Amino acid sequence: MLSKLTKTKAPTSTDFSDSYYVASQWELVRRKFKRHKLARVGIIVLALFYTIAIFAGFFSLSDYQKRDVDHVTMPPQNLHFFDEQGKFHLRPFVCNYIYTLNMDTLERMFEEDTSNCYDIQFLVHTHPYKFWGIFETDLHLIGVESPGYYFPFGTDEFGRDLFSRNVYASRISLSIGFVGVILSFFLGSIIGGISGYFGGAIDMVIQRIIEFIISIPSIPLWIALAAALPHDWSSVEVYFGITIVLATVGWTTLARTVRGKFLELREADFVMAAKISNMSDFHIIIKHLLPSFASYLIVILTLSIPGMILGETALSFLEIGIRPPAVSWGVLLQDAQNIRSLALHPWLFIPAIYVIVTVLAFNFIGDGLRDAADPYKQ
């Protein structure tokens, strides 16, 4: 396991100073997590992705739904620091592309027009957008003044800017995992809690149900459920429909863990000790039981987010998930379905890189958290 790779170093002598012994459990968890390098990389990457997703309008370069008929399936534009004379420009610039149709192969050819270049501007006023749907603004982090344009990831078959589409797609793709996880968290902890707390016949029935759900192959089940979503639903309804579909499978692992922990901890010595000291059940659960396995829950939740993101991507890719005009990474990848168009326009595959990086980041953080979850284990 990678945790071994980035094995947390044995505590140095300073770690055994007084601060180590007086630090609270969460303080120790935090310290141990910070030593996991890959997890820190994961946190930084995700923080960046989520910031971009939250302020999608601010980071986008052009209107993500706008169709630019003059620049259809244009390859990613080069960013230049040196002009034709080899002079260095501190401010990078892009050049407009001239479009020609190769009459022999009927391929679209784009050539850089080096006489028609524009500087990249920062905090520039270009196309208007609604900030969180509250007020209208046209401020963007970077942009190119008209009639210049900048398509860092190229454009799709309708001439829409793939970079901005990716930025907007990350909103749905990144949030769907969280919403799905919250849903499965409620289902899993309540059902798992009931199962572990009452035991007996109820436990038996719930466990059989869970085993049953696990025994259905998840992707065919997702496909079946997603295909059942009505065709006339709005984007928002479909979005929540998909999260429910993803959560129907997701809650089972969590329920199992919660039940197992309940059964195990019910018999633990410290619970017995607390009971003898006349603590109320409520107090025991809040003060002793929950903290002792909250960290495990967080680990499981973190590790189940990437599965949900991948599930959404796969469903949207098969055209039974999120539906256009809403965009998610899976929706963008639909364009890559046709292998011949992918061979001609490989930049259509860029959303896949986003998906992979996100999933890796979540996995790294999950690994780091798993190591940190038990701070007393060296």
Partner 1 sequence: MIFLLWLTTVVTFVIVQLPPGDYSTALIGRLEAAGQHVDEEKRQAIKKEFGLDLPTHMRYVKWVTLAAKGNLGYSFDWKRPVTELIGQRLTLTVTIALLSTIVTYVIAIPIGIYSATHQYSVGDYIFTTWGFFGLAVPNFMLALALLYFGLRYFGVNLSGLYSQEFMDAPWSIAKLLDLAKHLPIPVFVVATGGSAGLIRVLRATLLDELEKQYVITARSKGLSNTKMLFKYPVRLCLNPLVSNLAWLFPNLISGGAITAIVLGLPTAGPMMLRALLTQDTFLSCSILLFLTMLTLIGTTISDILLVLVDPRIRMERSTS
Place of tokens 């990086």: 357
Q: How far is the C-alpha of 272 from the C-alpha of 274, rounded, in Å?
A: 5
The residue range among 39-47, 164-172, 181-189, 218-226 that interacts with partner 1, by the rule CB under 8 A, is: 218-226
Complex with partner 1: residue 4 or 87, whichever CB lies closer: 4
Q: Per CB under 8 A, does 336 bind partner 1?
A: yes
The residue range among 115-123, 256-264, 288-296, 336-344 that interacts with partner 1, by the rule CB under 8 A, is: 336-344
What's the closest the beta carbon of residue 232 comes to partner 1, in angstroms? 9
Name the phi and psi angles at 338, rounded to 5.
-80, 115
Complex with partner 1: residue 192 or 351, whichever CB lies closer: 351
Going by the DSSP 8-state scheme, the letter that residue 222 receives in this structure is: H
Contact assessment for residue 250 and residue 306, using Cβ atoms and an 8 Å cutoff: no
Sign of CA dihedral 368, 374, 376, 378: negative
Among 219, 244, 285, 294, binds partner 1 (CB under 8 A): 219
Partners of residue 310 on adjacent β-strands = none
Complex with partner 1: residue 19 or 338, whichever CB lies closer: 338
Residue 90 makes CB contacts below 8 A (sequence gap 6+) with none
Residue 165 makes CB contacts below 8 A (sequence gap 6+) with 64, 156, 327, 332
Pattern 339-378, partner 1, x by CB under 8 A: xx-xx--x--x--x--xx--xx--x---------------
Pattern 226-265, partner 1, x by CB under 8 A: -xxxx-----------------------------------
Q: How far is the C-alpha of 359 from the C-alpha of 308, rounded, in Å?
A: 10
- Could you give the count of Cα atoms lying within 13 Å of 360 in the half-sphere of its Cβ? 10
Complex with partner 1: residue 94 or 181, whichever CB lies closer: 181
Q: Per CB under 8 A, does 87 bind partner 1?
A: no
Among 221, 263, 294, 298, binds partner 1 (CB under 8 A): 221
Among 218, 244, 260, 279, binds partner 1 (CB under 8 A): 218
Place of tokens 């659960």: 285
Residue 38 makes CB contacts below 8 A (sequence gap 6+) with 2, 6, 364, 367, 368
Among 53, 206, 210, 320, binds partner 1 (CB under 8 A): 320
The residue range among 59-67, 92-100, 215-223, 287-295 that interacts with partner 1, by the rule CB under 8 A, is: 215-223
For 2, the token pair is 């990678």
What's the closest the beta carbon of residue 93 comes to partner 1, in angstroms? 31
Q: Per CB under 8 A, does 331 bind partner 1?
A: no
Among 216, 268, 286, 290, binds partner 1 (CB under 8 A): 216
Residue 183 makes CB contacts below 8 A (sequence gap 6+) with 243, 244, 247, 250, 251
* Amino acid in the structure at residue 215: S
What's the closest the beta carbon of residue 312 comes to partner 1, in angstroms? 11
Contact assessment for residue 315 and residue 329, using Cβ atoms and an 8 Å cutoff: no
For 282, the token pair is 């409520």
Q: Per CB under 8 A, does 306 bind partner 1?
A: yes
For 260, the token pair is 């197992």
Among 217, 237, 272, 280, binds partner 1 (CB under 8 A): 217
Contact assessment for residue 184 and residue 245, using Cβ atoms and an 8 Å cutoff: no
- 3-state DSSP assignment of residue 227: helix
Complex with partner 1: residue 42 or 152, whichever CB lies closer: 42
Q: Which residues bind partner 1 (CB under 8 A)?
A: 1-2, 4-5, 212, 214-221, 223-225, 227-230, 306, 310, 313-314, 317-318, 320, 333, 336-337, 339-340, 342-343, 346, 349, 352, 355-356, 359-360, 363
